Amino acid sequence: MTRPFLIFPLVVLLGIGLALQFAQAAPDVQEVVDRASAAAYYQGRDGRASVHMSILDSQGRERTRDFVILRSDMDDVDNGEQRFYVFFDRPADVNRTAFLVWKNPDADDDRWLYLPALDLVKRIAPSDERTSFVGSHFFYEDVSGRGPREDNHVLEEETDAYYVMRSTPKEPGTAEFASYRSWIHKATFIPVKTEYYDEAGEAYRIYTASAVEVIDGHPTVVQSSMADTQTGGETKMSYSEVKYDLGLPDDTFTERYLRTPPRRLLR
Amino acid sequence: MNPLTLNAIRKPGVSLTLAAVFSLLMMGLVAAPTLAPDAFPFLQSLKVDTDPENMLAADEPVRIFHNDMKAEFTLHDLIVVGVVNERNEQGVFNVETLSDVYDLAEFANSIRWEEDGERRGVIAVDVIAPSTVDAIEQAGLGSVRFSWLMPTAPETEEEAVGVRDKALRIPTLNDTLVSADGRAIALYLPITSKDVSYQVAGLLREKVAGFNGEATYYITGLPIAQDQFGVEMFVQMAISAPVAMVLIFALMWFFFRRVNIIISPMIVAMVSVIGAMGLLVATGNTVHIMSSMIPIFVMPIAVLDAVHILSDFYDRYPAIRDRRKTLEHVMRELWSPMLFTTLTTCTGFASLAFTPLPPVQVFGIFVSIGVFLAWFFTITLIPAYIMVIPERAFEGFGMGAEGKVSDHEQTPLARFLHNVGGFSVERAKLILVSFLVALAIAGYGITQIRINDNPVKWFTPDHDIRVADRALNERFGGTYMAYLALTAAQADEAVLMGDDAGRRLGELGTPAAAEVSAELVRARGNKLTVEALLSHLRAFGEKRRDAAVADEDWAAWDDALLALDAAAQAGDLFKQPDMLRYIARLQYHLEATGLVGKSNALPDIVKTVHRDLFLGEETAFRIPATPEAVAQTLITYQNSHRPQDLFKLVTPDFRKSILWLQLKSGDNVDMGAVVAAVDTFIADNPPPAAISHDWFGLTYINVVWQEKMVSGMAEAFLGSFVIVLILMAVLFRSIAWALLSMVPLTVTIGVIYGVIGLIGKDYDMPVAVLSSLSLGLAIDYAIHFTVRSRELYARIGNWTETAKAAFGEPARAIFRNVIVIGVGFLPLLLAPLVPYQTVGAFISAILVLAGAATLLGLPALITLFQTFLFRKRSTT
């Protein structure tokens, strides 16, 4: 009579053990991707960074852009609504050119452009976000973040340090890639490398995070690059003066500030 | 008799074996390394080159510049695919055709393969197709949209027409991607190198064959034409040349009636061609458009001497009735004219070695070698061959043999030629006057010659390539590409920057700006480079800015630094509005000539983006007022799918910019006119800043090589004319006779080129090369006639009787030659490649004219000047 009572807890324990084992082997894929997105784009409540961008073409000719990014997460929700402000400092002839972005994870982003030399604020109609960001090899979407729910994700491999995720677009017509693979750092959830593949399975764009620093307690990519094997060029971005939780007022991210940038914040 | 011939007569087997071994060796030398390159690494394999660019040496400045510019602006050779639909009301802008076009572009994007570790095929990122280019458009509520022109195949007819309407609004696409009438589309497929074009075109044709739609697809572009030419060139070598051989063979049979005998000139021609081509390949030279013509040039010349021998043999044999004795007689008689005709022909072609074009040099040298081989085999093989044929085979051989006509001077041919002889002696003055009139008219004709060429016109008008060429050039800006590079003159950038910075800092008027300004003045004294000067001043300003406490101070220093960086861009010439407006005016000027169908340049991009930033209003279709506004327009443009397109028109430093011109015609005269139009415009309208301008692009390169060809050919021709004259003086030991023998050739060439001028046939590559052939052939008949006439005169001592004798066997030999070779080359007229037709028609015309000029002109002139010409002889 005692035997079944002994066996039952054993079975339960075994079951729990197996379940744990299973969970460790296959973490929730979507959760990993969500956390990666949060780690890459939603650190802190808000933040700012000075960015130096160096665009090298296949002939080794360099163009540079220097800009400041201000960011604020609405209601401090990860992977939620977000507002961006990109203020160009150099080259001198695009000084004070600015982008304002209201990022909507479940809809098209709202974008405005300010061109000081034409004294023009222009709304940019929603369209493909996979276009060049100011002539660099980064896409606009690489800067603002691709929605973690836009693709189907499969954990292809798990190493000691990385989740290797294969992602394919849910709507293939909306992206130029057939799939991409990202190496997500297990400890920080920062994607340190992403390779984009074409229909032939060839990697034609490669993103690399080459330096990560912990700033204000947030692991932060401070150097990254995007290589394009089709045109044979590469863009490097290096971040400085990174600050988090500045308490940026919401009205910073309005059309009004496009023309009269908050110089105090850009200093 | 010459020991070579003597040996051949005595030991015919040795000569025949030698020729056979030589041919086999030559064929082996080519075949072995071509078929098994690894087994014979030390031998040169057959290399084919169909690229007209290689008409110029690889280190020719225009080619170096062309390649540098292509690399700098990442430009590639283009295959153009035109899509036309004449059955649909909207042209190609319907769901079905556009879906096919979408498929075709997707397919083209996937054409790539690896070869020797290199990527080859279509360069997908630079393809211009509706689905691969961006459109800028108004998107309601004053917003602007940048998106693919045709992201997916359209689903409704409205969408299809929408693609057209969007494209027509964009100057860089209108008339390039979409025809100006809005009914056709052209895709531009850049390829990794020209030599893949045939392969790529083949894949495209296969793909297109699978479409069921109404549209017609035209695949064209210079690379296709060139590759196609290379392929057809070989077909030509394999068909036309043998057909010519067969016809020559048939005509010889008509004259000599003995198959076993007339095979010998064929063998001579074969061995000479094999020898010349074998040596060409074995010495590592490429088979090129020019060198592919070597067999066609060597063959008639190779047969020429053999026909003289056979003709003489045919006439003498019935009288002597012993092949060895007849042969000895014939060879003695013909030795010196054959040697000299060979020397003069070799001279004519060898002179091409002095032209500045490598393929023409190779052509001249190897035709020369072929001609020399032909002579060698003629004087050894023909006698040897005749000797191995048993004596009884000659029974009934020869003129008037078999007792049909007892006197062989009574055959219709003989009677005809005697009448010609009689006429030219009796009507000498009339003939002289007609020659002079002909020369005068020819002289006028030569002044009318239009020097022009166009590789696409090397195909006959009904060839696919020409049909496609016409279909696309009727509808689009043009399929012939030329590029005009504008380069900012070298300026002292440090001075430029320093002056500009001084001005900008002065305008700021802050104490910070004044400090930087003072430092600028100090630093400029050190004569630093612009980079050193800038980094010094930046460091100076940044240190003070970063130390600033008050926001206003920080801002003042920041503004001063901005002024410095703005000054650093003072040399960005092609952001300057006045420079862009100047380019736009130049474009307008060129399009007004009617030769440039379309041009694409930086101002088009700036104006288009500017227009659509300002609600798409036509009044905003202009260059904005400041370089900053231009820069901001361009950075907006670069937020596209294809930011790299900008640097196909300007370098990232904005110091060099190009105009991409689409010409409707690839004729060199038209390209030349465009070059002149640019020169005129720049001379009449000085640019706002110092710039230099240079051309590149295949259409322009063709003009350069043509210029070199024409001047090179003229010099080579004059040079060989003088050398031939000297050779003649040596042969005849008389200036008078030398000058006399030059008359038929002068008249022939004069009339040929006069006719070219009068009928409006363009003086192109084959016509230029023919001058050396006509020189070589036309002198031959004159040498034969004069040498034989002088020999006869020495025996007879009276010109009237001599003339009669000269119009016996010698005239018959010349006449048979004219017919055999002249008619033998007419099959080239059936060739699908125009240069071969030209060569065929002109060889025939040259031979007929040279024959006529010799048989009419020489006796007439000798009659008129006989006392002077025969003076020495009569005194001795």
Tell me the per-residue pLDDT of B141-178, one tens digit each, with 9 for 90 and over: 677 888 899 999 999 999 999 999 999 999 999 999 99
CB pairs below 8 Å between A and B: how many?
A: 122
- Would you state the pLDDT for residue B404? 47
Q: Looking at residues A119-136, what average pLDDT do you find?
A: 88
Tell me how far apart the alpha carbons of residues A158 and A165 are, in angstroms, rounded to a whole number: 9
* Greater pLDDT, A219 or B299: A219
- Would you state the pLDDT for residue B406? 42
The confidence band for A2, taking pLDDT boundaries of 50, 70 and 90, is very low
User: In chain A, how many domains are there?
Assistant: 1
Residue A177 in domain? yes
A91 contacts chain B (CB < 8 A)? yes
Least Cα separation, residue A41 to chain B (angstroms): 21
- Which residues in chain B show pLDDT less than 50? 404-406, 873-876
The confidence band for A26, taking pLDDT boundaries of 50, 70 and 90, is low
- Inform me whether the pLDDT recorded for A203 exceeds 90: yes
- Would you state the pLDDT for residue B409? 66
Tell me how far apart the alpha carbons of residues A16 and B507 are, in angstroms, rounded to a whole number: 77
**B538: exposed, middle or buried (Cβ count in 10 Å: 0-12, 13-18, 19+):** middle
* Closest among B118, B120, B83, B119 to B101, alpha carbons compared: B83
Q: Is the pTM of this model over 0.90?
A: no
Least Cα separation, residue B612 to chain A (angstroms): 10
User: Are A122 and B144 within 8 A, CB to CB?
Assistant: yes
Summarised one tens digit per residue, pLDDT across range A157-201 is: 999 999 999 999 998 888 889 999 999 999 999 999 999 999 889
Tell me how far apart the alpha carbons of residues B747 and B352 are, in angstroms, rounded to a whole number: 22
Tell me how far apart the alpha carbons of residues A168 and A145 are, in angstroms, rounded to a whole number: 16
Tell me how far apart the alpha carbons of residues B791 and B339 are, in angstroms, rounded to a whole number: 16
Q: How far is CA B329 from CA A50, B314, B318, B326, B332, in A?
A: 101, 12, 13, 5, 5
User: Are A131 and B639 within 8 A, CB to CB?
Assistant: yes
Q: Which of A67-76, A237-246, B91-100, B771-780 has the lowest mean pLDDT?
A: B771-780
**Cβ-Cβ contacts under 8 Å, B647 against chain A:** 57
**B221: exposed, middle or buried (Cβ count in 10 Å: 0-12, 13-18, 19+):** buried
Residue A267 in domain? no
Question: In chain A, which among 138-157 make CB contacts under 8 A with chain B?
Answer: 140
Residue B848 tokens read as 């007929």
Other beta carbons within 10 Å of B796: 16
Q: Which ipTM score applies to this complex?
A: 0.90
Tell me how far apart the alpha carbons of residues B285 and A254 are, in angstroms, rounded to a whole number: 71
Tell me how far apart the alpha carbons of residues B185 and B607 are, in angstroms, rounded to a whole number: 23
Q: Which residue of A has its CA nearest to B653?
A: A63
Q: Which one-letter DSSP state was computed for residue B763?
A: B
Asked if B500 and B573 count as a contact pair (C-beta separation under 8 A), the reply is no
Q: How far is CA B391 from CA B261, B319, B324, in A?
A: 12, 15, 9
**Cβ-Cβ contacts under 8 Å, B74 against chain A:** 58, 231
Asked if B264 and B272 count as a contact pair (C-beta separation under 8 A), the reply is no
Residue A200 in domain? yes
**Cβ-Cβ contacts under 8 Å, A90 against chain B:** 565
Kind of pairing between the strands at A46-56 and A82-90: unpaired
User: Are A134 and B635 within 8 A, CB to CB?
Assistant: yes
- Would you state the pLDDT for residue B765? 80
**Residue ranges making up the domain that contains A229:** 5-262
A251 contacts chain B (CB < 8 A)? no
* Greater pLDDT, B770 or A143: A143
Residue B179 tokens read as 């025809």
Check residue A128 and give left, alpha or beta (phi > 0: left; psi -120 to 50: alpha): beta
- Would you state the pLDDT for residue B62? 93
* Closest among A239, A243, A241 to A224, alpha carbons compared: A239
For residue A75, what is the domain's CATH number? 2.50.20.10
- Would you state the pLDDT for residue B395? 77
User: Are B624 and A97 within 8 A, CB to CB?
Assistant: no
Summarised one tens digit per residue, pLDDT across range B622-659 is: 999 999 999 999 999 999 899 999 999 999 999 999 99
- Would you state the pLDDT for residue A129? 84
Q: Which of A52, A94, A131 to mutate to test the interface with B (most CBs of B within 10 A)?
A: A131
- Would you state the pLDDT for residue B875? 41
Instruction: Name the 3-class secondary structure at B510.
Output: coil
Asked if B709 and B56 count as a contact pair (C-beta separation under 8 A), the reply is no
Residue A143 in domain? yes
Least Cα separation, residue B725 to chain A (angstroms): 57
**Cβ-Cβ contacts under 8 Å, B651 against chain A:** 61
